[in-house]
Amino acid sequence: MRGRRPRPAPVSPRTTLALKVARKTAEAENIQSFELVDPAGKALPPFAAGSHLDVHVPGGKIRQYSLCNPPGERHRYLIAVMRAEPTRGGSRAMHEQVKEGDLIEVSAPKNHFPLVESAKHSLLIAGGIGITPILCMAEHLAGLGADFEMHYFARSPARAAFVERIKRSTFADHAFFHFTEEEKQQRLDLAVLLQTHDAGMHLYVCGGEAFMNAVIDTALQKGWRKDRVHREYFSVEKRESDSNVEFDVTIASTGRTIRIPADKTVLTALADYGIHITASCEQGVCGTCVTRVLEGEPQHRDVFLSDDEKNRNDRFTPCCSRANSRTLVLDL
Ligand code: FES
C-alpha cells in the first residue's frame, strides 16, 4: 500500500530564521535580489504564492519583501529590493550593507496576498518592484496549468527586474510588458486591460500606491466586484501631516489616557510612555501593529485593512491611523 506523502510541519509565523545570503544580484536599475539559504543546507519552511518575509535589515528596521522564486522550492528564498528614493533606510541598508555570506534574520513566510486557485482566469498586474509576488503567482499558476495572463508595467526595460527570466519562462506567451513614462498611456492600457471581465475572473495587483490606486479605481469603474480584486501595497506615499489634530488614547487595561500630539503617531506617542506595540513597516502596509479599538472612531489611513474591516471600526493601525473621535479606547 502506498503511504501518504508526509506534510511539512506547520511553521509559526513568529518563527525567526537566520539565513545566509548566498547570492546578491543586480537585477535592474536600483533593484537587487538576495538569495537566502539555510546555512546548514536544511530545507526552508514552505511558502505559497503571494507570501512575503519580514526581513530584519541592518540598523534594526524590519521590512517586508515578497518571495519571487517559484513556490515549491525549499532550498532557497529569493527576494528583490528596490532602493527607494527618498528612502526610510531599509532599502538603502539592504543595498549598501548586506553582502554575500552575511547572515540575516527573517520571519517564516507570511501570506496576506493568497491566490484563489479555483479562478477561471487570473489577471496579474505588477507595477515596478510589485513584480515580485506577481511573478511568484505566475510561476505557480503556470505549474498548475491554470489560465492566466501577467502584465508588467515599468518605466523602462532598464528599470524592470526579471525581464529575461520572464521571457525565457514557460508562460512567456502570456506575459506582457508595458514600458512607459507616460501616465496617460498607462491609464489607457489599464482601461483596455480591465474592460472585459466576468464572474470567474480574479485580478491581482501589486506596486506603489499611485499605481495600485489607478488599477483598482479603473477596475471598479469597469464593474469588477471588490471581492475579485486582490491587492498588496509595497509602499504608500508620505501623507502631509499639516491637517493632523491631537486626540486622546485610553489604555483599557489601566485606564490611563495619553494625549497624541498632531506631529506624532499613536505608535510613537505611546512608546514615549513605555507602551510598545509591535510594528514593522510603520506606514500602514503590513498589518503588524493592528490593535483592537473598544470605543471611539478611528480615522483609517492604512492600506492593510479592507474597506469592510475599516467600516467596522473595531481595529486600526496605530503606526499611521488617527482618530475622528476625541478619544480612542484601545484594547491594550
Ligand atoms: Fe505595518 Fe503598522 S507597522 S501596518
- Evaluate: CB of 285 within 6 angstroms of ligand 1: yes
pLDDT value at position 1? 36
* pLDDT average, residue stretch 47-75: 93
Tell me how far apart the terminal alpha carbons of the chain are, to the nearest angstrom.
54
What phi, psi does 273 have (nearest 5°)? -105, 15
Q: Where in the chain is the domain with CATH 3.40.50.80?
A: 121-233
What pLDDT digit, counting tens, does each position of 71-121 carry? 999 999 999 999 987 666 789 999 999 999 999 999 999 998 999 989 999
Instruction: Judge if the beta carbon of residue 303 lies within 6 A of ligand 1.
Output: no
Confidence of residue 123 (pLDDT cuts 50, 70, 90): very high
Best of 64, 280, 300 for a ligand 1 pocket test (most atoms within 8 Å of beta carbon): 280
Distance CA 24, CA 44 (A): 19
Does residue 8 have a pLDDT over 60? Answer: no
What average pLDDT does the chain have? 90
Q: Model's pTM, two decimal places?
A: 0.82
Considering the four listed CATH numbers 3.40.50.80, 3.90.1170.50, 3.60.110.10, 3.40.1180.10, the one that applies to the domain covering 121-233 is 3.40.50.80
Q: Cell triple for residue 239?
A: 501623507
Question: Residue 173 has what pLDDT?
Answer: 96
Report the pLDDT averaged over residues 60-77.
Answer: 93
Residue range 114-131: mean pLDDT, rounded: 94
CATH classification for the domain delimited by 247-330, as one of 3.20.20.70, 3.40.50.150, 3.30.429.10, 3.10.20.30: 3.10.20.30
Q: What is the pLDDT of residue 39?
A: 97
What is the tens place of the pLDDT at every residue in 271-292?
999 999 988 888 898 888 999 9
Question: Which three-class secondary structure state does DSSP give residue 193?
Answer: helix
Burial class (CB in 10 A: 0-12, 13-18, 19+), 318: buried
The response to whether residue 154 sits with its C-beta less than 6 Å from ligand 1 reads no
pLDDT band per the 50, 70, 90 thresholds, residue 3 = very low
C-alpha cell at 141: 499558476
User: Cβ neighbours of residue 113 under 8 Å, at least 6 residues apart?
Assistant: 50, 51, 52, 66, 133, 204, 206, 230, 231, 232
Evaluate: CB of 328 within 6 angstroms of ligand 1.
Answer: no
Any atom of ligand 1 within 6 Å of the Cβ of 267:
no
Supply the pLDDT for residue 90. 85
Q: Are 125 and 100 in contact (CB under 8 A)?
A: no
- Name which of 299, 297, 249 is nearest 273 in CA terms: 249
The pairing of strands 121-127 and 103-107 is unpaired
Grid coordinates given for 97: 550593507
Cβ-proximal residues to 146 (8 Å cutoff; 6+ apart), any chain: 117, 119, 122
| Collapsed DSSP state (helix, strand, coil) of residue 176 | strand
Asked if residue 289 has its Cβ within 6 Å of ligand 1, the reply is yes
pLDDT in tens, 181-204: 755 556 668 889 999 888 899 999
Outline which parts of the chain fall under CATH 3.10.20.30: 247-330
3-state SS assignment for residue 73: strand
**pLDDT: which is higher, 241 or 59:** 59
**Is 80 exceeded by the pLDDT of residue 2?**
no
Q: Determine the topology of domain 16-107 in CATH.
A: Elongation Factor Tu (Ef-tu); domain 3 (2.40.30)
* Positions of CATH 2.40.30.10 in the chain: 16-107
**Does position 209 have pLDDT exceeding 50, yes or no?**
yes
Which ligand 1 atom is the nearest neighbour of the CA of 281? 1
